[in-house]
A and B are shown apart, each in its own frame.
Chain A
Amino acid sequence: MLTTLTLLTIGLPWLGAICILLVGDDHRRLLNILAASFAVLAGIAAVAALPLATSQAILLASLGGVFGDFTLIPDGLALSVAAIAAVVGSLAVIFAIDYMKHSQQLARFYALVLFFIGAMVGLAVSGSLLFTFLFWEITAFCSYALISFHNDDPRAVRGGIQALIMTQVGGIGLLAGALLVYAYFGNYQVNSLLEGFQAVPPGVLSLVAFGFLVAAAAKSAQVPFHAWLPDAMEAPTPVTALIHAATMVNAGVYLLARFYPAFAAVPGWRLSVMAVGVLSALLAGLLALTANDIKRVLAYSTISQLGYMVYAVGCGAIFAAQFHLFSHAIFKALLFLSAGAIITSIGTRDLMRMGGLRRPMPFVYAAFVIGSLGLVGLPIANGFFSKELILEGGLTEGPFAFYLLMLLGAGITALYTIRLLWMVFHGERRGPEPAHDGLPAMRVALGLLAFGTLTTWLLAGGFSRLLADTLPLHGIEAESTWALVQQVCLAPATWIALGVIALAFGIWFIRSKLTAPAETLRPLASAGFGLEELPRRIADWTDRAAVSLQITQSGQLNWNVVAIPLALIAILFVLLGFK
């Protein structure tokens, strides 16, 4: 039953993708129906699998000595990540029905999105590192293809290439780790590493641990690999919400949380993880304060929130990290989709051309405010509970300096969120007249996500039980929702954090006196603190290398056919050389 449901969650979206490709671009209605129904079915299968979670690995197929066994580990951690991907994915697909109304090549869009959802679920539930790597690369490819969806726009193409190169760096880290695991255990099983990591020499284990950290940082857009995420904002907004907020970027946090028990004792690893998280949270927060593109602000805030999760994993607060991952996926998808509704309504992403949209767009305004509550971490929204749990974990487990920096980060979050809210919805109208206040399918997705943002914290108890029951090695304690709520409300960390947030709101209202420091920050931030230049250059180099390699594509059949025997001869010589 569990195996069937898990395989359905991977297989249904992929089946849907194939159907959609076969139907083709001409039948738009049918495409909408197919995409939405397959995505929703996958979401239902994922949620139905949740109560059946087990810590046992399930063997699906033995693929011989080289590829090892293909197993599933449908435990709480894997299934929750899979369910988030499938459910948020289905809402993004529903939203896309309206968003992509006038777009060409709809089949390509839906097929890639569905293919991505299946791959993300596979990444989460695979018990074999080799297959994790495979799915990891599929998600990277889908992300690339969807960022460059408008492939006549050079910025979209560059953003896609940048994302691909960056996540490949991470992929190499993951592959290197997987191969080292194979070298010591003779298989790629996640569980062999988790249970037998003492048998690995400390030097090798730390190599694996830091390889995985690089992989996670690249995928989750953490410093110094973060630059691809803001440039990925050229993708259609439902894709941004799905991939660059709710699912793919979670893969890094998931990977760190998954292997935390094996790596926790590696000297310096936990500290490095925390440092990466703190740096990302602060740097991205500052960048979000100065960006003037609504999607870029949200992208930076995603990096910053992922920084919180990475920091929590470093502290050993796995439950807090995963719970924030859950909350973040929902409220960030809500924020991105609201932004998508605004963008289709007024036709610009520039904050300078927005303002005063509160009256003409009350529905989107309400959704955006609810999402902001989650982002800032104010009570009743799910982000409040998860973020406070992280800060509490940081106070008790991590270095005090890091805790203070994260508190500062919470303040910055509040500041850029209120700035965003203000520039979009309040003040003078500076841009075009909005065309609509969210189309019907958009409203369905926004309404459900807003409801989720306000209520998913009620699932905290069940979620902690799910993780505690199925993850014996991670040291998670099951607690009821009521106990967690009490714990959060009574913790001094919470009140300090709320104080900092209130202070940040206070700062916003005296902002006119603070223009001088803001202006000194701006040139520094617009250069992305120098870290965004390098990946852009690498993307440009790749582009130029591709152009100069065009001479090999002569288009002459003779050369192409001759190249085949030449390659065969070369392979023959290589093989003879190895003999």
Chain B
Amino acid sequence: MTLSPFTIALIGVIGLLGIGFYGLMISRNLIKIVVALQIMVKGALLGLVAAGNANGQIGLGQSMALTVIVADTIVAVMGIALGVQIRRRLGSLDVRDLSSLRG
């Protein structure tokens, strides 16, 4: 059985999203959470490019992916910056210490 390129890309997308989601659920470290989020976004990027290719609109998919890269970088920077602030104030990066929003 030979897999088409699109199927391979799709497996990649689901794999990356799954890994990222798993990471979001179980990581206690704030930096790791940001990394997991990044992995999820990379899965979405791959999905965009693959979908553009399958749809025949390669340019559209790629330009969308580029836009997401830019936005995503900002998200990562913000996340890490918050992490730095939290480390300074609480002295830890463990998310279990961030429970002041508990209802």
A residues apposed to B, CB below 8 Å:
549-558, 560-562, 565
Contacts and interface: CB of A to CB of B under 8 A. Distances in A.
A467 B30 CA distance: 63
B27 A558 contact: yes
A350 B61 CA distance: 70
Nearest to B30: A557
A553 B25 contact: no
Interface stretch (B5-13, B48-56, B95-103): B95-103
Interface in B1-36: 21, 24-28, 30, 33
A60 B97 CA distance: 50
A556 B95 contact: yes
Contacts of A562: 21, 24-25
A557 B98 contact: yes
Contact of A556 (B30, B37, B99): B99
Contacts of A553: 101-103
A199 B27 CA distance: 62
B65 interface: no
In the complex, the 9 A-B pairs of residues with the closest C-beta atoms, listed nearest first = A555-B102, A553-B103, A550-B103, A555-B99, A557-B95, A555-B101, A561-B24, A562-B24, A562-B25
B103 A558 contact: no
Given A553-B103, A561-B24, 16 more contacts: A550-B103, A551-B103, A552-B103, A553-B102, A554-B102, A555-B99, A555-B101, A555-B102, A557-B30, A558-B24, A558-B25, A558-B28, A561-B37, A562-B21, A562-B25, A565-B40
Size class of the B contact interface (CB-based, 8 Å): 10 to 19
B95 A558 contact: yes
A276 B27 CA distance: 60
Q: Determine chain B's interface SS by DSSP, over half rule.
A: helix
A551 B102 CA distance: 8
Contacts of A550: 103
A506 to B, nearest CB: 59
A32 B68 CA distance: 47
Contacts of B30: 557
A561 B36 CA distance: 11
Nearest to A563: B24
15 contacts: A550-B103, A553-B101, A553-B102, A553-B103, A555-B101, A555-B103, A556-B95, A557-B33, A557-B95, A558-B95, A560-B101, A561-B24, A561-B33, A561-B37, A562-B21
Contacts, number: 38
Contacts of B37: 561
Contacts of A552: 103
A559 to B, nearest CB: 8
Nearest to B96: A556
B46 to A, nearest CB: 16
B21 A565 contact: yes
Nearest to B94: A557
A146 B2 CA distance: 67
Nearest to B97: A557
A560 B37 CA distance: 13
Given A556-B96, A557-B33, A565 B24 contact: yes
A109 to B, nearest CB: 25
A138 B25 CA distance: 37
Contacts of B96: 556
Contacts of B99: 555-556
A549 B98 CA distance: 20
Nearest to B20: A565
Contacts of A565: 21, 24, 40
Contacts of A561: 24, 33, 37
B79 to A, nearest CB: 10
A546 to B, nearest CB: 9
Nearest to A552: B103
Contacts of B27: 558
B72 to A, nearest CB: 14
B101 to A, nearest CB: 5
Contacts of A554: 102
A492 B99 CA distance: 72
A554 to B, nearest CB: 6
A555 B101 CA distance: 5
